[in-house]
Structure 1
Amino acid sequence: MAGLLRTVWHLPFREAPLWSVRGLARRGGLRARAGHGDAGSSAKCERSLSKSEWRKKLTPEQFYVTREKGTEPPFSGIYLDNKEPGMYHCVCCDSPLFSSEKKYCSGSGWPSFSEAHGASGSDESDSGVLRRPDTSLGLERTEVVCKQCEAHLGHVFPDGPGPRGQRFCINSVALTFKPSKS
C-alpha cells in the first residue's frame, strides 16, 4: 500500500497544482462548480459529450480525474473527512453512487466506501458503478466508473471491511455530496 501511495503521489496532477486544489476546496470552489450543468439541464446524453463540452462543464481538476482517468493527491480531497449523512453523486451526471452509511476511514488518503449504492451483496446490477480491469501503472487493479456517463471515479481493492472485504477508493473531485434532509 505504501508503494502504491508513493507511486500515485508522484503522478502529475496536470491541470492544477496541489496548492490550487487545496485553495479551491477551502474556499468551496470545487463544491461550487460541482453542480454546474447538472444532468437534468442537459438534453444531450452525458456519454455523447465531446471532450470540449466536458471541459466547459467541469473544472480542470474534475476533467482531469473523471475524463482522463487521473487521480487527486492523497489527503487533499474535500470529502475525505466528511462524516455528514447523505449521498455521494457523480460530479459529471449526478447519478447516486455511494451512501454515507457505507463510508469509512481507510487511512488511504481518499474517501473509501465498502459498497456502492444500490448493490445487494455481490450483485451490483442496480448500483451506479461499473468495474473495469486497469493495468495502467503496471499493476492489476479494478477501475470504478460511473455506469451512466463512464466517468472515472477511482478503484476498488480487496482489502476493505467485511462482509465482502471491498474498499472503493474514490476521488473527491469525481463526487458531489448531497446531505440527507432531516
Structure 2
Amino acid sequence: MGKKLFLAMFLVLVGCKGVSQEEPKTKEKEKVYKVTKTDEEWRAELTEMEYYVLRKAATESPFTSELLENKEKGTYICAGCATPLFRSEHKYRSGTGWPSFDREIEGNVDYDVDYKIGYKRTEEHCATCGGHLGHVFDDGPRRTTGKRHCINGVALNFIPDSK
C-alpha cells in the first residue's frame, strides 16, 4: 500500500508542469521602426559601447557618462538616429549614476516590459529607431511626474540651445 501511494504521489508531482516561465505561444508582431538598418550598418555607424547599449540593450557602468553632470540647457537626442528624447529642464540628479529625467519628449519614446533580471521593469526605446535607452521607474520626484527615466548616457547626444 505504501509503495503504491508513494508511486502515485511521485507521478502526480512529476506530471505537474508549471507554465509561469514559458514564453507565450503567440508572439506579437515585432514593431517596424521608421529608421531601420542592418546589424552591420549599426555597427559601422555607432561606437562599440553605443552599439551594445542601443542595439543589444546593454547597460553602461554607473557614473561613467559624460552627460551625467551636464547642466547646459538643450536637448538630449538619440545617439542612433538624432530623435529628440529629453529636455534639459527635465533632467535631475537621482544619485543612481545615470542621467535621469522626470519626463520624455512626448511621442518620441516607446515602452516595453522587460523581465531580464527576474522582475518586471519598463524598458524605454527610441520611438524612431528602436534603440534601447534605459528604464523608467516610479520613484522620481513627487513634485513633478513621480517618474525616473534612468537613461544610459551613451545612448544620448546633447544639442545645446542656441544662445
TM-score by length of 1: 0.69
Aligned-residue identity in percent: 47
Alignment RMSD? 0.9
Cα distance, 1:139 vs structure 2 = 1.9
Q: Is the counterpart of residue 78 in structure 1 residue 58 in structure 2?
A: no
TM-score by length of 2: 0.77
| Matched residue, 1:181 | 162
Q: CA–CA distance in 2 between the matches of 1:149 and 1:138?
A: 26
SS in 1 for 2:158: strand
| Matched residue, 1:136 | 116
Please list every run of 5 or more consecutive structure 2 residues that lacks an aligned counterpart in the other structure.
1-33
Cα distance, 1:67 vs structure 2 = 0.1
Residue type of the alignment partner of 2:152: N
Please list every run of 5 or more consecutive structure 1 residues that lacks an aligned counterpart in the other structure.
1-44, 120-126
Q: CA–CA distance in 2 between the matches of 1:78 and 1:145?
A: 21
SS in 1 for 2:52: helix
| Matched residue, 2:83 | 95
Equivalence map 1:2-81=2 (5 Å): 46-47=35-36, 49-81=37-69
Q: CA–CA distance in 1 between the matches of 2:75 and 2:123?
A: 21
Residue type of the alignment partner of 2:111: R
Q: How many residues align?
A: 129
Cα distance, 1:46 vs structure 2 = 2.1
Q: CA–CA distance in 1 between the matches of 2:145 and 2:71?
A: 22
Which structure is higher in helix share? Answer: 1
| Matched residue, 1:171 | 152
